[in-house]
Amino acid sequence: MGLSEIVQEQIRALPEGQVREVLDFIGYLRSRQAQAQWDDLMLAQEQSLAKVWDDAEDEVWNHV
């Protein structure tokens, strides 16, 4: 029996209110994963644009 089947079996044994909590937690995990991917994208953009952002002309914006 695979992990997915074990989880399904365990969920079937829960009362409906707790199943809703499990569903909420799954949503939380998925949103956290999406946020991690977004953070990775932002970091990649920051690194690729560092030379553009860090020049003498833009010094005035460093303290805004």
Using one digit for the tens of pLDDT, what is the confidence trace for 18-55?
Answer: 999 999 999 999 999 888 888 888 888 887 887 777 77
**Given this model, what pLDDT does residue 46 score?**
82
- Whether 12 shows a pLDDT value over 90: the answer reads yes
Where do the domains of the chain lie?
A: 17-57
Residue 46: both structure tokens together:
């920051």
pLDDT, greater one: 16 or 61:
16
Residue 5: both structure tokens together:
């089947």
Alpha helical stretches, state H, 1-64: 3-12, 16-53
Question: Any residues with CB less than 8 A from the CB of 11 and at least 6 apart, and which?
Answer: 19, 22
- Whether 3 shows a pLDDT value over 90: the answer reads yes
